[in-house]
Amino acid sequence: MHSVAVFIRFFKRNLCILEPLGRIIFMFGLIMLVPIGLVLSDQDPTQLLLAFLLPSIACIVIGLTMRHYGRELADKFRLRHATLLLLIIWCGLPFIGAFPLRSYVDPASVLSDSYFEAVSGITASGATIMINIDTLPDSIKLWRGLLAWMGGMGLVVLATALLPNLVIGVKHLFNTEISGPQQEAELTPRIEKTAKGLWTLYIILSCTCALAYWISGMDWLDALVHSFTTVSMSGFSNHDTSFAYFDSVAIEIIAVLFMLLAGLNFATHFSAIRQLSRRNKTLIKRAHSIRASHFGTYLKLITTSAGISSLFQSFSTPYRQDNELRSYLTVLFIGCVAVIFALGQTTDLNWTQQLRHGIFNTVSIATTTGYSNTDFGSQWPLFISFFILLLANFTSCSGSTGGGIKMIRARTALGILSLEGTRILRPNVFLQVRIRRQVIDNKVVSSVLLFLFAYTLTMLVLGLTLLAVQPSLDFLTAISAALACLSNTGPGLGEVGSGTTYTSLNPVATTVCAFAMLLGRLELLLFLVLFTRDLWR
C-alpha cells in the first residue's frame, strides 16, 4: 500500500511533464505517418497500413490530449522533470516504434525482439535482430532508417526545432541529449534557433549523402535509408551483407567521407558555416561600398585569390580551433594504417582488398556506425577486429552522432595520466590538465574520471549479466555484445559479429542489450537519477 501511495504522489508531483511529453509523442506520431507512403508497394498493404496507422493515430490523439491537459502545469517544469522526461521518452518511444516491426521478428519473443530493434534504431546503434532484411517491405526498411535518423541528432533537439517554445526547462534537456562532457558556450542566443540550425545542418548532410549514394548506383530507397543511417552513425543496412552487397568502391568512399563528417562535433560544422556566411556578408557590404551596382563587383571580389582565401580562412577557423578534430583524425588514421598493416601480415588478401576492407571497416566501427563490407568478425584474426571495436569506445567527438566515451574525455583522461607522471617526479608542482592550451576545469576532470569508471564498470557488469542470463554464450560474445551496445556501435564479435545478428540471444539477453544501448546513448549517469531517493520522495 505504501509503495502505491508513493507512486501516486510521485505521479502528481510530476504532472508538469505532460505538456512536453505530449508534444514529443505527437511529433513521433506524425513522423510515423511517413513510411505509409511506401505501404502500397507491398503484397499485403492492409496489414502494414494498420501497423503504422494505429500507433500513429494513438500517438497523435494521446499527444494532443496530454498537451491539452498539461498546458497550465507546464511552467513548473524544472531540471528534475527534464531528467525524468528524457528517460521516459527514450525508454518509452521505442515501444511505439517497435509496433510495426513486430511481425518481422522471431514470433517466440516478439516483445523483446521488436523492442530491441527499435531501441537499436533510436539510439543509432545499428545492432539488428532481424534476419533476411533484404526481403522486408520497403516501408519497414524506411521506418528503421527513420528511427535511426531521429535518434541520431536527438529527439528533444528535433522536438525543439519543430515545436518552438517547448518549455523553459528545455535547456537542461538539450545539454543532456547532446553528447559530451559540457557545452562550452551556446551556439545561438535562442535554444530553438540552435535546434533549428543543427537540424538544418543534419538534413543538408543527409540529403547530400543520399544524393551521392544515388548517383553512385544505389536505388533511391537504399540511398535514402543508408544516408539516414550514415549521418546518424547508426549502421542499419537494408541488406544482410551490409555494404558488401553493393561491392562498389565509390559507395564505400562516400560512406567513409560522411561517417568522418558525422563523427565530428556538429557545433563545429555549425560555426564554420556561420563564419562563412558572415564573411560573405562583409564581402557583399564591401562590394556595395565600392560600386553601386554591386553584384559584378561582388563576383570580382569573391573570385580573387584574396577573396577565396579569406572565405576559406573563415570557414576553416572553427575546425582549426576544434579541440578534438586533430586527435579524432589522428586516431582514425593510425587505426587504419595499423589494421591494413596487420591484415597484410596475417591474411592472404591482395593489397586493394586490404586497403578497402581495412579503411572501410575501421572507420565504420571506430565511429560507432557499424557497417561492414566484409565479415571481418569471422575472417579477420581476432586481435584486429577486437582492436577496432575498442577504438569505437572513444573515437567519435562530443556533439557528434556517435557513441562511446567521446574523444574529449579520452584526451582529458590521457592528460591526467601524464600529469600524474610529472607529479611523481615533482611532488609539489601545480599542474592543470590542458587540451591544446585550454585549461580543463577541475570539476570537468573529476566528472570525466567518474564517467570513465562508470563506463568500464557498466560494461563489465553488462557482460557478466549477459553470461548469467544466457549461460550458453561464450565470453567473447558476451563482452563484445556489451561493448558494442554500450558504445552504440552495433555489431560485436563472435555470435553477434558483423556476419550474424543478435538472434542467438534469448529474450532476457536482448532486453539487457537494449538497456545497454539506452545507457550508452544517454551517457549513463542520467539513469542514476532513477535510484536517488530525492526523485521519489
Which of 92, 183, 119, 70 lies closest to 490, judged by CA? 119
Q: What is the DSSP string of 130-175?
A: -S-GGGS-HHHHHHHHHHHHHHHH-HHHHHHHHSS---TTHHHHHH
Distance, CA of 367 to CA of 371 (rounded, Å): 10
Q: Which of 387, 439, 391 is nearest to 412 (CA)?
A: 439
Crossing angle for the helix pair 18-32 and 155-162, to the nearest 10 degrees: 90
Sites of contact with other proteins (CB under 8 A): 79, 168, 171-172, 185-191, 193, 278, 282
C-beta of 191: minimal distance to other proteins in Å? 5
In whole angstroms, how close is the CB of 280 to other proteins at the nearest point?
A: 12
Cα Rg for the chain, rounded, in angstroms? 24
Closest CA to 459 of 381, 388, 393: 393
Kindly list the distances between the CA atom of residue 494 and the CA atoms of 110, 179, 498, 501, in Å, as whole numbers in the listed order. Answer: 24, 29, 9, 10
Give min distance, CB of 169 to other proteins, in A. 9
Residue 180 · residue 398 · CB < 8 Å: yes
Determine the 3-state secondary structure of 438 from DSSP: strand
User: Toward other proteins, which CB reaches closer, 141 or 172?
Assistant: 172
For other proteins, which is the closer residue by CB, 175 or 379? 175
For other proteins, the closer of residues 282 and 346 by Cβ is 282
Report, in Å, the least distance between residue 315 CB and other proteins.
16
User: What is the distance in angstroms between the CA of the first residue and the CA of the last residue of the chain?
Assistant: 15
Decide if 361 contacts 388 (C-beta within 8 A).
yes
**Least distance in angstroms from the C-beta of 415 to other proteins:** 20
How far apart (Å, rounded) are the C-alpha atoms in residues 51 and 497?
30
- Number of Cβ atoms within 10 Å of the Cβ of 43: 7
What is the closest distance, in whole angstroms, from the C-beta atom of residue 481 to other proteins in the complex?
A: 38
341 contacts 355 by C-beta, under 8 angstroms: no
**Residues with Cβ within 8 Å of residue 400, at least 6 apart in sequence:** 179, 233, 262, 263, 264, 265, 266
Least distance to other proteins, CB of residue 188, Å: 6
Cβ-contact 343, 384 below 8 angstroms: yes
Q: Output the nine-digit C-alpha cell for 68.
A: 491539452
Q: Which of 157, 161, 155, 160 is nearest to 121 (CA)?
A: 155
Using CA atoms, how far apart are residues 440 and 453, in angstroms rounded to an integer? 19
Report how far residue 399's alpha carbon sits from residue 413's, in angstroms, rounded to the nearest whole number: 18
* Dihedral (CA of 422, 423, 425, 428) sign: positive
Number of H helices, E strands in the chain: 23, 2
User: Which run of H or E residues covers position 434?
Assistant: strand 434-435
Q: Helix, strand, or coil here: 331?
A: helix
Return the number of the residue (167 or 513) whose C-beta is nearest other proteins.
167
Kindly give the interhelix angle for 110-122 and 507-521, rounded to the nearest 10 degrees.
20
